[in-house]
Amino acid sequence: MDILRTPEERFADLPGYRFAPHYSEALPGYAGLRMHWLDEGPRGAERTFLCLHGQPTWSYLYRRMIPLLAAAGRVVAPDCFGFGRSDKPADEAVYSFDFHRQSLIALIEMLDLRRITLVCQDWGGLLGLTIPMDMPQRFERLLVMNTALATGARASARAARPAAPG
């Protein structure tokens, strides 16, 4: 698989983003692909905040929230494959819903995250909100922003319009 990797110097001196990077090239099921995540706050914290970004953002989205959340627990903010500091497979066909969802599950399991408060936005919600049902023992809370829960039903244009007066 052809992989694109953004050079580290592209991330130097980003405003408000002074977090240490964490990487794994051994994510189960994704060997050879390097995933990046931020891991701030105490590892032994009672609570873990898992911050999932949308498209076209990456963990930089949470740069202002991370210090506030880290005061209350551990904060893990991954860059999905194709975004930020994570590897970018060149073949667009690789980027499926299951590809991203399973990589997040693999990261949760690899880091053994527990007592998770899921913080999700945009596509981070579309992906992330499907995970607690499969791993209920790991999740405690949801903080949902600017996203949707895909149910498989088509959104109705009529439902989006206000009712006519009268």
Tens digits of pLDDT across the chain (166 residues) = 899 999 999 999 999 999 999 999 999 999 999 999 999 999 999 999 999 999 999 999 999 999 999 999 999 999 999 999 999 999 999 999 999 999 999 999 999 999 999 999 999 999 999 999 999 999 999 999 999 887 777 655 554 555 555 5
**What is the structure's pLDDT at 164?**
54
Q: CA–CA distance from 145 to each of 24, 94, 95, 122, 138 (Å)?
A: 28, 27, 23, 7, 20
Count other C-beta atoms under 10 Å from residue 138's C-beta.
19
What does the pLDDT read at residue 90? 97
Widest distance between CA atoms in the chain: 62
pLDDT of residue 150: 75
Among candidate residues 64, 51, 52, the one with its CA nearest the CA of residue 16 = 64
Distance CA 96, CA 82 (A): 11
**Domains of the chain (ranges plus CATH)?**
28-148 (3.40.50.1820)
| H or E, element range at 105 | helix 97-110
**How high is the pLDDT of residue 142?**
97
E strand or H helix at 98: helix 97-110
CB-count exposure of residue 33 (10 Å: 0-12, 13-18, 19+): buried
In whole angstroms, what is the distance from residue 34 CA to residue 162 CA? 47
